[in-house]
Amino acid sequence: MLAVFKNGVVSPPNELHSPVSSQGPGTKTPEETLKAFLASNPSNGFSLGFPNKALLAYASNQRLFCSVNDVYCIFLGSLNNLCGLNKQYGLSKGANEAMFVIEAYCTLRDRGPFPAHQVLKELEGSFGFVLYDNKAGAVFAAVGADSAVSLHWGVASDGSVLISDDVDIVKASCGKSFAPFPAGCMYHSEGGLMSFEHPMNKMKAMPRVDSEGAMCGAFFAVDAYNKVTSMPRVGSEANWSTWG
């Protein structure tokens, strides 16, 4: 899968930028990377474009994709407790994981009493997803704590942020300005990166060096010694757009 968010839609952590320029020889634009992705999946590759905002692409035989009311989700992996979650959110038994994520997001965005990290901790299984709310211009992504599903993200030379489960796809546009998306963490375009496993702990960035000894985008991990200044909100005003 591939998600591209244009400059200004997502503000990634500063440490994701490599000290080495992303504009290396042979580096592709995000649009060229999208074309390469679709060319590698000629019979089952699909893409959606949102002018000056985002690009989403996936292979239908490997990923779950769903859209509801201008909210779009690409889901990787599976949830062991999906039936119980569907019942809890009033969805049909046949609703897949991508549909559930959209429903949970919309419920919490509009009227939910629980912060996002509390909801994500209820998900049992191996998962990673990228959600784009076109009306709100919001991006939400998360990866399960078991690391069975992996995502990578990076910053292209034009400022776009790319997210994919294929590291080579990210490197094609981002050069050395990329990193693994940290397991057990979530990112929202309004609130930034945080751990849903340990929401009271701050995130820290550790320098990453590639096989050639060049500095790359940092690894992100939970800082066991530093806490956030306040607990995430849990009142009725808390939702997936304003957690933190």
* SS3 readout for 188-231: ECCCEEEECCCCCEEEEEEEEECCCCCEEEEEEEEEEEEECCCC
Q: Which residue's entry shows tokens 């400022």?
A: 159
Q: Which of 20-24, 57-61, 166-170, 196-200 has the highest mean pLDDT?
A: 166-170
Residue 183: name the closest of 234, 142, 134, 227 by CA: 142
The predicted structure's pLDDT at residue 21: 54
Q: Is 241 within a domain?
A: no
Q: Is 238 within a domain?
A: no
How does pLDDT run across 205-244, given as a tens digit for each residue? 888 777 666 667 788 888 877 776 654 444 434 444 444 4
CATH number at residue 166: 3.60.20.10
Q: Is 222 within a domain?
A: yes
CB atoms within 10 A of CB 159: 15
Residue 118: name the closest of 192, 224, 194 by CA: 194
The predicted structure's pLDDT at residue 141: 96
Q: Is 93 within a domain?
A: yes
Q: Of 113 and 171, which is predicted with more confidence?
A: 171
Q: Is 178 within a domain?
A: yes
Q: What predicted TM-score, i.e. pTM, was given to this entire model?
A: 0.87
Number of domains, the chain:
1
Q: Is 85 within a domain?
A: yes
Structure tokens given for 82: 């999906």
Q: Is 147 within a domain?
A: yes
How does pLDDT run across 101-144, given as a tens digit for each residue? 999 999 878 876 567 888 899 999 999 999 999 999 999 999 99
CB atoms within 10 A of CB 40: 11
48-62, 79-93, 139-153, 206-220: range with lowest mean pLDDT: 206-220
Report CA Rg, the chain. Answer: 17
Distance CA 109, CA 119 (A): 12
CB atoms within 10 A of CB 79: 21
Host domain of residue 164? 2-227
Eight-state DSSP code of residue 168? H
Q: Is 8 within a domain?
A: yes
Q: Would you say 126 and 77 are in contact if contact means Cβ atoms under 8 Å apart? A: yes
Residue 74 identity (one-letter amino acid): I
Q: Rounded mean pLDDT of the chain?
A: 86
